[in-house]
Amino acid sequence: MTEPLFPNPIAHRGLHDRAKGVIENSASAFEAAIAGGYAIECDIQLSSDGVPVVFHDDVTERLLGKPGAIADRAVSDITSSRLLDSAAGDCPQRFTDFLAQIAGRTLLQIELKHQRDTTGTQLLARSVAEALKTYEGPVTIESFDPHLLTAVRQFGFAGQRGIITYDYADESESSTLTAEQRYTLRHLLHWHETQFDFISCAKDALNLPAIVFWRALGKPVTAWTIRSQAEADAAFALSDQVVFEGFAPKVA
């Protein structure tokens, strides 16, 4: 029998708990995930000087208490800025430092965040692909942006790549997209371009025809973001693994 691509639940941005001083996408959250026997989902942005960093938001206010965009800050500024409420004094990491920390101890589901322009898209994909060439450990890459999946493959990443998706029904959530683009993304019509290996789908969109179709053809599906064991149990009827936060799911 073929081993599943995602054998264990995936800790969304690491096993974080802000009330306890463990902040999302921090070194402490990643260590907690490993200790719990979980895989890790994390987010990669690009600094103003072109260095990949582990950070979710496009802006820095919520996590660093500073106004402005992450893409407008130099890597030295980002990695020396303490994450708000971090008990350990964690700062955002360079992607290469994150890889050195994990060192193959658990599976990674790495999300490449959408960039402002084609130059940023290409630079992020190339930098991440280059960093992973010497990484020894299980790793996957995913993105909402089909162009990032294509670019990271072109720059030499030969591992498993996944498209992140949802139903695109609320136009306000995707205001920069045309109706045609939303239709393409909803129905995964970029297959000829991306040739994705797995799908990461919002938990309320798992019954979309495209998700059901590709899972029936053998593409693994992870469900996000799961916040209780009851949600996990329900999601497993239509997916193969869960991306979770806020509770401790069962580990096989």
pLDDT in tens, 10-60: 999 999 999 999 999 999 999 999 999 999 999 999 999 999 999 999 999
* Distance separating alpha carbons of residues 139 and 146, to the nearest angstrom: 18
Contact 143, 132 (CB under 8 A): no
- Identify whether 85 is part of a domain: yes
* Distance separating alpha carbons of residues 107 and 179, to the nearest angstrom: 36
- Identify whether 249 is part of a domain: no
Q: What is the pLDDT of residue 172?
A: 76
Contact 42, 29 (CB under 8 A): no
* Distance separating alpha carbons of residues 242 and 19, to the nearest angstrom: 23
* Distance separating alpha carbons of residues 122 and 43, to the nearest angstrom: 17
Q: What is the pLDDT of residue 139?
A: 98
Residues 59-71 have pLDDT tens digits of 999 999 999 999 9
Q: What percent of the chain has pLDDT over 70?
A: 99
As for how many domains the chain has, the answer is: 1
Q: DSSP character for 53? A: E
Residues 157-189 have pLDDT tens digits of 999 999 999 999 987 777 789 999 999 999 999
Predicted TM-score (pTM) of the model is 0.97
DSSP sequence for 198-238: EEEEEGGGTTSHHHHHHHHTT--EEEEEE-SHHHHHHHTTT
- Identify whether 4 is part of a domain: no
- Identify whether 32 is part of a domain: yes
Task: Read off the pLDDT band of 135 (50, 70, 90).
Answer: very high
- Identify whether 5 is part of a domain: no
Q: What is the pLDDT of residue 167?
A: 96
The CATH number of the domain holding residue 187 is 3.20.20.190
- Identify whether 3 is part of a domain: no
For 41, the domain range is 10-244
Q: What is the pLDDT of residue 117?
A: 95
- Identify whether 252 is part of a domain: no
* Distance separating alpha carbons of residues 79 and 57, to the nearest angstrom: 15
Q: What is the pLDDT of residue 57?
A: 98
Contact 74, 49 (CB under 8 A): yes
The answer, yes or no, to whether residue 1 has pLDDT greater than 70, is no
Q: What is the pLDDT of residue 209?
A: 98
- Identify whether 156 is part of a domain: yes
- Phi and psi at residue 19, to the nearest 5°: -65, -25
